Amino acid sequence: MQDIRHLALKGYVEGETEEFVNENELSLEDEVIHQMDLEILQKAIQSLTQEQKERLYLYFFRGKSIREIARIQGINRNMVWTSIQKTLLQLRNFFG
């Protein structure tokens, strides 16, 4: 059980950590659905161009503004915004 100590804020506490883990376990069906969603997302991301991937990364994971991304990439802000919107629509279509 000590191998799951990273799942609890306080680390491993006998009797408490087991309860925490059991409460947060997904059913087999939920695990399969989750895995399928991850596979779909991976395929969707692989279908993107390098520019689309970079813009999404900068926007969502690095917290850059549209203006900052446009400056970094040396393009117009409207092009960045339109590209991000189209990319999100493209990703949504994978989940139909």
Do residue 37 and residue 54 come from a single domain? Answer: no
Do residue 53 and residue 95 come from a single domain? Answer: yes
Do residue 62 and residue 30 come from a single domain? Answer: no
The total of other beta-carbon atoms located within 10 Å of residue 42's CB is 11
Do residue 72 and residue 93 come from a single domain? Answer: yes
The yes-or-no verdict on residue 7 having pLDDT over 80 is no
pLDDT given at position 51: 95
Do residue 54 and residue 96 come from a single domain? Answer: yes
- pLDDT grade for 22, boundaries at 50, 70 and 90: low
Do residue 38 and residue 54 come from a single domain? Answer: no
Give the domain CATH number at 82: 1.10.10.10
Find the helix or strand (DSSP H, E) in which 95 lies.
none
**pLDDT tens-digit readout, 37-75:** 889 889 999 999 999 999 999 999 899 999 999 999 999
Total structural domains within the chain: 2
The total of other beta-carbon atoms located within 10 Å of residue 87's CB is 20
Domain that residue 95 falls in: 49-96
Mean pLDDT of 11-26: 55
